[in-house]
A and B are shown apart, each in its own frame.
Chain A
């Protein structure tokens, strides 16, 4: 009894301090924090665009110029879409050069896909890409060597972009997807040492196919994949999903992680399943401190490409998340 009394007195004394410490520790990321982060990132990109005007670029590097134009279209004050600049990437470059040159090429394509409501008017690009994909397909495997994995990744990006911008038909993408998926059994998707870098594009392509006549080909695979992804994200609660990227490529991991968050939000829409929105909201909260630290310097577009893309995907995911959440609240 005496001990209880003693504890009561001690507890009463320390209680306010403990409560305030607990409140401080428990302070979670609020949606207002996300919006202010989004605003800051947009300002950083705008500032970057201003300080890296066209004349500062090496003008013979068509890829960088096109990327700059794309970013200007999305974040600049002039909102007119420069279709010509965007289509140049696909038409004027040699296709083999585009996919083999370096990461920047891929990045441009990724950047483009984020621009909504843009569809290629010229369908001739389809043949060019099909021919490339067919050749690459022989050498592609998600579970093979680094080179084979790279081909699988490039094919997935092209299939996704092809579906997104409608320059590849769904029948062709479906049959190609079946071949690529054979190299990635569902159990290999989530390996103990991490997910395979670049698989987010395949998942997103599958989500587009789910809305087509070819859904029956992937319905079971996609269902198991989405449920496994949900469990992985919800149970392990990692700040960033682990990917099989080389050491020191933490930015690549963050980038692919944000693509996965966008994919999870897309699953939420495709399946009309709030569990995925809920998981994405928590994942965005967890990743917030990392994105907040993101620097976009003025050292040129090639030095900042990953950072800009990370910012871009984060901005997109917060926007999609909030659109979806307000829709749920209205119902």
Chain B
């Protein structure tokens, strides 16, 4: 079995999901993590893009991030699920930079994954797969680099639920029984979550679930699905099915009242 070359493209240095995926890939036999690409946290361009996306809540995000960096907390973790995941992966580092340095992996911090520095860095590494984590739009020049493709796990069921806020939308639209909540591993394309589907996994709700607690359930499934995809690629068992765009819709961030409505509905569903 030949060795597969992987590059991780992460949103920030301390992102737990990126750290877990990177560590699992490093642990895998016949998988060679050859590079890690992260985005600069404090760049004006990034702040302005994030502000457009998140609006006023960006300030709270920055404050939370500042607190986690300056305190002795290693990760931004909310519950014991994260502890289990960290232990399972044998993760001892709180930044991708440290991880890269410990395992002698090429590392680069850029303003934008599509910029020329990033493209040059990736081209030199000749990856088979790029694992893309985060929600930025990837351009064609980036997508063309890996031999197999750019992997992404979407926090929703595809093709039905593309875009963002897709944890709440199936609840709001009464589609829990028909489509459900879940995660989808797909190959990235220029469109938003429109690439061929590799596999998906449903996530079940239980009585104690809230929208916040669901996040850690998602984290676990996303890491597992990504690693499963890498194994399939390694074993040449990867197959993907193109999406029929008309089978789904693109979703956007929910209004805060919609979010409250979804939260209430979860409780009702679980009581039933």
CB 8 Å contact bits of A268-290 with B (1 = contact, 0 = none): 00000111001101100100000
Contacts of B237 in A (CB 8 A): none
Check if A325 is an interface residue, CB within 8 A of chain B: yes
Q: List the one stretch of A115-123, A159-167, A202-210, A227-235 in contact with chain B.
A: A227-235
Whole-angstrom distance between the alpha carbons of A127 and B232 in the complex? 69
Q: Tell me whether A8 and B57 are in contact (CB under 8 A).
A: no
Check if A35 is an interface residue, CB within 8 A of chain B: no
Complex interface residues of chain B between 152 and 189 (CB less than 8 A to chain A): 169, 172-174
Q: Tell me whether B252 and A275 are in contact (CB under 8 A).
A: yes
What is the minimal beta-carbon distance from A220 to any residue of chain B, in angstroms? Answer: 11
Q: 16 A–B contact pairs at CB < 8 A?
A: A4-B70, A4-B72, A8-B70, A10-B70, A25-B56, A26-B57, A26-B59, A28-B56, A230-B250, A235-B252, A274-B173, A275-B169, A281-B255, A281-B257, A325-B257, A329-B261
Whole-angstrom distance between the alpha carbons of A53 and B55 in the complex? 46
Pick the contact of B60 from A26, A31, A227 — CB < 8 Å?
A: A26
Q: A25-B59, A26-B56, A237-B52 are in contact. Are A278 and B252 (CB under 8 A)?
A: yes
Whole-angstrom distance between the alpha carbons of A184 and B250 in the complex? 25
Q: Tell me whether A281 and B250 are in contact (CB under 8 A).
A: no
Q: Tell me whether B59 and A227 are in contact (CB under 8 A).
A: no
Contacts of A331 in B (CB 8 A): 174
Q: Tell me whether B250 and A227 are in contact (CB under 8 A).
A: yes
Check if B270 is an interface residue, CB within 8 A of chain A: no
Q: Tell me whether B255 and A278 are in contact (CB under 8 A).
A: yes
What is the minimal beta-carbon distance from A268 to any residue of chain B, in angstroms? Answer: 12
Contacts of B254 in A (CB 8 A): 278
State the B residues within 8 Å of A (CB).
52, 55-57, 59-60, 63, 67, 70-72, 169, 172-174, 249-258, 261
Whole-angstrom distance between the alpha carbons of A28 and B57 in the complex? 10
Q: Tell me whether B261 and A328 are in contact (CB under 8 A).
A: yes
Q: A4-B72, A274-B172 are in contact. Are A11 and B257 (CB under 8 A)?
A: no
Q: A4-B70, A8-B72, A234-B252 are in contact. Are A328 and B172 (CB under 8 A)?
A: yes
Q: Tell me whether B63 and A7 are in contact (CB under 8 A).
A: no
Q: A18-B63, A26-B56, A328-B172 are in contact. Are A4 and B71 (CB under 8 A)?
A: yes
Q: Tell me whether A8 and B71 are in contact (CB under 8 A).
A: yes
Which of B56, B63, B252, B261: most chain A Cβ within 10 A? B252
Report the nearest B residue to A1, measured CB to CB. Answer: B72
Contacts of A234 in B (CB 8 A): 252-253
What is the minimal beta-carbon distance from B61 to any residue of chain A, in angstroms? Answer: 10
Whole-angstrom distance between the alpha carbons of A314 and B233 in the complex? 55
Contacts of B256 in A (CB 8 A): 28
Report the nearest A residue to B258, measured CB to CB. Answer: A278
Q: Tell me whether A11 and B67 are in contact (CB under 8 A).
A: yes
